[in-house]
């Protein structure tokens, strides 16, 4: 397997934590709320899933525990920001720190332990293709994440639910005037975003790298938040961005395998360098941000 085949084979799996967390954050931001605690929510989901799987509960229950735990933590954020109209940036950062602290506390006795990952499922015929065949040999969670991407795209494009979410994010007062409960919609969106972050952390801890190490999320939550801006709040672009960052995260391993004399620290920093560069380019285009951005993002709603 050459470097290109290696990157293509692992790209979707590497992209899945980014994708799941970014899809959840997309729904939250479309509802007009900015949650910067994704990193902590992912960390909490990761440790809960790992504990459940390590104790013999299985991967399904691990993901359920991760989703419920992270959703519960995100509801604290919702209570503070929607109930008391606290600053969303400060509250999100506090929740992120709390989630990381809880993950370190709960995972202390599981440090460096491992669990068994899920087997990969191949698409007959397509998995035998040269070069790109590895794209069609993935675990079940990767396939589910692709279905989730299509479902969220269809929701925003064609469903009444997507229209209500966008209305609440764009003009909450108008949505309230025609009978929609802005607070209820935003609470549900925040809970969904928290659950998706938990699933992302669970995937990272029990499937992608099935071991527990404190700090293993390693900035993926921040990259997921950046992906929403990178994708200009559009589902398809977020998926492509997740694939890009997944591929970039594998380039370091591919370079080391080919014997390139490049410092490992530089290779490890590639995803973060790409994040800074891409965000700089996107932010420079004010027209694009204004066209697809959320008008009331981060603004508290008052009846």
pLDDT in tens, 5-52: 888 889 999 999 999 999 999 999 999 999 999 999 999 999 999 999
pLDDT for the residue 12: 94
Global confidence as pTM: 0.93
Whether the predicted pLDDT of 217 surpasses 80: yes
Residue 60 lies in a domain: yes
Residue 161 lies in a domain: yes
Q: What percent of the chain has pLDDT over 90?
A: 72
Mean pLDDT of 156-163: 96
* End-to-end Cα distance, the chain: 60
Domain containing 209 equals 3-111+143-292
Whether the predicted pLDDT of 141 surpasses 90: yes
Give the number of domains in the chain. 1
Residue 100 lies in a domain: yes
Mean pLDDT of 290-297: 83
pLDDT for the residue 1: 60
**CATH code of the domain covering residue 236:** 1.10.3470
Residue 147 lies in a domain: yes
Residue 300 lies in a domain: no
Of 248 and 15, the one with more pLDDT = 15
Residue 234 lies in a domain: yes
Residue 189 lies in a domain: yes
Residue 127 lies in a domain: no
């Amino acid at each position: 397997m050459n470097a290109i085949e290696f990157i293509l084979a692992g790209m979707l799996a590497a992209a899945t934590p980014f994708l799941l967390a970014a899809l959840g954050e997309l729904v939250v931001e479309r509802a007009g709320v900015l949650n910067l605690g994704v990193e902590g929510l992912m960390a909490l989901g990761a440790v809960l899933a790992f504990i459940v799987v390590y104790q013999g509960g299985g991967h399904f229950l691990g993901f359920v525990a991760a989703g419920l735990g992270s959703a519960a933590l995100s509801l604290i954020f919702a209570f503070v920001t929607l109930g008391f109209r606290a600053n969303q940036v400060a509250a999100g950062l506090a929740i992120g720190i709390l989630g990381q602290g809880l993950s370190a506390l709960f995972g202390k006795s599981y440090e460096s332990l491992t669990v068994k990952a899920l087997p990969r499922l191949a698409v007959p015929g397509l998995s035998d293709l040269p070069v790109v065949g590895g794209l069609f040999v993935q675990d079940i969670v990767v396939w589910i994440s692709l279905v989730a991407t299509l479902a969220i795209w269809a929701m925003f494009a064609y469903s009444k639910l997507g229209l209500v979410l966008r209305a609440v994010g764009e003009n909450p007062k108008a949505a309230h005037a025609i009978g929609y409960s802005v607070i209820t919609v935003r609470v549900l969106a925040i809970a969904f975003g928290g659950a998706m972050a938990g699933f992302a952390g669970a995937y990272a801890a029990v499937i992608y790298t099935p071991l527990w190490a404190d700090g293993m999320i390693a900035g993926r939550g921040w990259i997921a938040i950046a992906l929403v801006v990178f994708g200009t709040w559009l589902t398809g672009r977020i998926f492509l961005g997740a694939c890009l960052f997944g591929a970039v995260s594998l380039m370091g391993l591919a370079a080391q395998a080919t014997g390139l004399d490049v410092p490992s620290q530089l290779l490890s920093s590639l995803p973060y360098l790409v994040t800074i560069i891409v965000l700089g380019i996107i932010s420079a285009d004010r027209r694009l941000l204004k066209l697809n951005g959320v008008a009331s993002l981060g603004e508290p709603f008052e009846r």
